[in-house]
């Protein structure tokens, strides 16, 4: 098992059950040919490939969990996806803060010899980008490090040779301003959670605009979507290093602010995971039939808002974004209760002062998925304290926003919903798992 900031020593055992009878017979044939010295070069290549495949198959079955690390930055409502659209595993620490940062990060090892780099965990993108040597505008304070291609014996130029990425909602003072990172492309050996190494194409940031507030704490990002040679996780899967499953929970424990599992599901983080189809095309998503308020059948029936849309799952979004019609429906259903303090003001975008009892009076919000599974948010999940939009320390802001056309349908499910669950991205079976997070273990492994 991985401990914080350490790499697990991984071992694998090959058994007849795991590699199959036919494979054993073929391997025996190879060995006999070697003994009799009648093996051709083609036979030798076949046997070598067989051994490599067996080792890869043996590696499958490893589960490794690691912590995510902490960092705090005042961050307004934010969504990486909205910007873009405009059996083995390893659990490691993950950290961050649902509000206001929405940035969870862990370490990835790059190069030969390997060097650890902090990277934000992003389910809404698919690239690996880290700050490079002599970068203009990059952050150099710990835990950040600069990638030096000349210091790695396995680094070589990639194709294309250059990259340039631009984003919005990255400038805290002006969410509509454009932030840009650009630099050189390399391929190098990369490991994650002690699994690997594999060859990955990465971006070495050489210039970063000064308004890129998102990267002022953790100057790097690792995406888990749109698998390709730039995606660390998909390259691990393609090399047979781990199964095509990863999972994450977001809860402040004794060691970190969450845990990420690479290649599987860690039963210590949830005792019951229920699966629904992954309805996403490019981005991971779940189909939401309806939303309702309250925790009784009668209350839900009176406040049900039809949705019938796919909600994109994005760890880089720190609020719940819904389409305009759903936003209007939820506002009407919630604010019809005249006993809720400042309801109209909150839904109009204002931040207001509330007492703990006034916050607790707000109803539970439920999302019914296509299978009937309900995702629940309490009032403290959508009434958020600490926003830079607030004008006083005790003011709460509504963590539900009109997404308009963001994500195609304006519906993005972010950290404020995810933090109640151990979220499983089962890419192999194209399904998403939701399990009540074990608050005794998430962030404490």
435: nearest Cα among 275, 313, 243, 284: 275
What's the distance, Cα to Cα, between the start and end of the chain in Å?
9
Q: How far apart (Å, rounded) are the C-alpha atoms in residues 87 and 267? A: 12
Whether the Cβ atoms of residue 257 and residue 251 lie closer than 8 Å to each other:
yes
- What's the confidence (pLDDT) of residue 389? 76
Q: For 59-76, what is the mean pLDDT?
A: 54
Which residues are within 8 A (CB) of 261 and not within 5 positions of it... i.e. 6 or more apart? Answer: 63, 64, 65, 89, 90, 91, 92, 246, 247, 248, 269
Question: Which of these ranges, 88-97, 175-184, 232-241, 267-276, has the smallest mean pLDDT?
Answer: 88-97
- What's the confidence (pLDDT) of residue 40? 40
Higher pLDDT pick, 45 / 240: 240
Q: What percent of the chain has pLDDT over 70?
A: 75
Give pLDDT tens digits for 136-156: 999 989 999 999 999 999 999
DSSP readout, 374-421? Answer: EEEE-HHHHEEE--TT-SSTTEEEESEEE-TTTTTTS-EE-HHHHTTE
- What's the confidence (pLDDT) of residue 20? 37
Q: How far apart (Å, rounded) are the C-alpha atoms in residues 423 and 246? A: 9
Give pLDDT tens digits for 390-413: 888 889 999 998 887 544 557 889
- What's the confidence (pLDDT) of residue 429? 96
Angle between helices 21-36 and 41-59 (to 10 degrees): 140
- The top-scoring range by mean pLDDT among 72-76, 78-82, 431-435 is 431-435
pLDDT class of 415 with cuts at 50, 70, 90 = confident
349: nearest Cα among 395, 398, 387: 398
Torsion of CA 145, 110, 232, 164, to 10 degrees: 50
Give pLDDT tens digits for 77-124: 444 444 443 334 566 676 554 445 457 889 999 999 999 999 989 887
Distances (CA, A) of 369 to 309, 358, 434: 10, 29, 11
Q: How far apart (Å, rounded) are the C-alpha atoms in residues 84 and 205? A: 19
- What token pair was written down for 192? 């994650």
pLDDT class of 179 with cuts at 50, 70, 90 = confident
**Placement of tokens 């809720």 in the chain:** 340
Q: For 4-29, what is the mean pLDDT?
A: 30
- What's the confidence (pLDDT) of residue 319? 84
- What's the confidence (pLDDT) of residue 169? 57
Q: For 181-193, what is the mean pLDDT?
A: 96
419: nearest Cα among 313, 311, 336: 313
- Tell me the HSE value of 443 on the side-chain side, using a 13 A CA sphere: 22
Q: For 1-30, what is the mean pLDDT?
A: 30
pLDDT class of 225 with cuts at 50, 70, 90 = confident
Q: How far apart (Å, rounded) are the C-alpha atoms in residues 157 and 141? A: 27
- What's the confidence (pLDDT) of residue 135? 96
- What's the confidence (pLDDT) of residue 122? 84
- What's the confidence (pLDDT) of residue 68? 65
pTM of the model: 0.78
Which residues are within 8 A (CB) of 242 and not within 5 positions of it... i.e. 6 or more apart? Answer: 59, 60, 62, 88, 89, 90, 195, 233, 236, 262, 263, 264
Mean pLDDT of the residues in the chain? 80
Dihedral sign from CA coordinates of 256, 260, 167, 205: positive
Residue 249 in this model has a pLDDT that exceeds 80: yes
Q: How far apart (Å, rounded) are the C-alpha atoms in residues 128 and 189? A: 12
Question: Which of these ranges, 7-21, 231-245, 259-273, has the smallest mean pLDDT?
Answer: 7-21
Q: For 57-85, what is the mean pLDDT?
A: 49
**Placement of tokens 């198959």 in the chain:** 57
Which residues are within 8 A (CB) of 43 and not within 5 positions of it... i.e. 6 or more apart? Answer: 30, 33
- What token pair was written down for 287? 């189909």
- What's the confidence (pLDDT) of residue 213? 75
- The top-scoring range by mean pLDDT among 8-22, 35-49, 252-266, 363-377 is 363-377
Give pLDDT tens digits for 290-325: 999 999 999 999 999 999 999 999 887 778 989 889
Dihedral sign from CA coordinates of 27, 33, 34, 40: negative
Q: For 243-264, what is the mean pLDDT?
A: 92
Q: For 281-287, what is the mean pLDDT?
A: 89
- What token pair was written down for 392? 């006083």
């Amino acid at each position: 098992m991985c401990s914080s900031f350490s790499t697990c020593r991984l071992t694998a055992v090959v058994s007849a059950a795991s590699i199959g009878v036919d494979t054993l017979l073929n391997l025996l044939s190879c060995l006999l040919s070697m003994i009799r010295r009648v093996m051709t070069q083609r036979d030798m290549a076949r046997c070598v490939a067989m051994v490599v495949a067996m080792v890869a198959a043996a590696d499958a079955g490893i589960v490794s969990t690691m912590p995510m690390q902490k960092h705090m930055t005042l961050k307004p409502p934010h969504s990486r996806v909205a910007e873009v659209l405009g059996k083995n595993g390893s659990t490691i620490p993950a950290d961050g803060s649902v509000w206001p940062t929405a940035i969870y990060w862990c370490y990835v090892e790059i190069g030969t010899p390997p060097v650890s780099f902090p990277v934000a965990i992003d389910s809404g993108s698919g690239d690996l980008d880290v700050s490079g040597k002599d970068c203009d505008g990059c952050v150099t304070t710990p835990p950040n490090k600069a990638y030096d291609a000349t210091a790695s014996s396995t680094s070589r130029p990639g194709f294309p040779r250059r990259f340039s990425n631009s984003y919005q909602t990255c400038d805290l003072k002006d969410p509509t301003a454009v932030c840009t990172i650009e630099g050189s492309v390399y391929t190098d050996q990369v490991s994650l959670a002690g699994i690997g190494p594999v060859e990955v194409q990465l971006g070495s940031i050489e210039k970063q605009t000064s308004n890129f507030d998102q990267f002022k704490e953790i100057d790097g990002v690792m995406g888990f979507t749109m698998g390709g040679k730039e995606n660390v996780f998909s390259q691990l899967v393609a090399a047979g290093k781990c199964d095509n499953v990863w999972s994450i929970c977001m809860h402040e424990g004794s060691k970190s602010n969450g845990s990420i599992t690479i290649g599987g599901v860690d039963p210590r983080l949830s005792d019951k995971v229920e699966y629904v189809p992954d309805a996403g095309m490019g981005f991971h998503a779940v189909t939401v039939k309806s939303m309702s308020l309250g925790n009784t059948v009668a209350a839900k029936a009176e406040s049900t808002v039809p949705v019938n849309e796919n909600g994109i799952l994005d760890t880089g979004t720190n609020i719940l974004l819904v389409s305009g019609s759903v936003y209007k429906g939820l506002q009407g259903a919630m604010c019809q209760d005249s006993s809720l303090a400042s309801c109209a003001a909150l839904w109009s975008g204002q931040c207001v002062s509330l007492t703990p009892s006034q916050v607790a009076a707000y109803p539970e919000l439920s999302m019914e998925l296509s299978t009937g599974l309900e995702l629940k948010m309490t009032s403290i999940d959508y009434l958020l304290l600490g926003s830079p939009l607030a004008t006083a320390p005790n003011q709460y802001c509504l963590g539900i926003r009109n997404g308009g056309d963001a994500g195609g349908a304006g519906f993005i499910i972010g950290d404020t919903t995810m933090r109640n669950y151990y979220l499983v991205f089962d890419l192999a079976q194209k399904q998403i798992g939701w399990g009540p997070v074990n608050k005794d273990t998430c962030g404490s492994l």
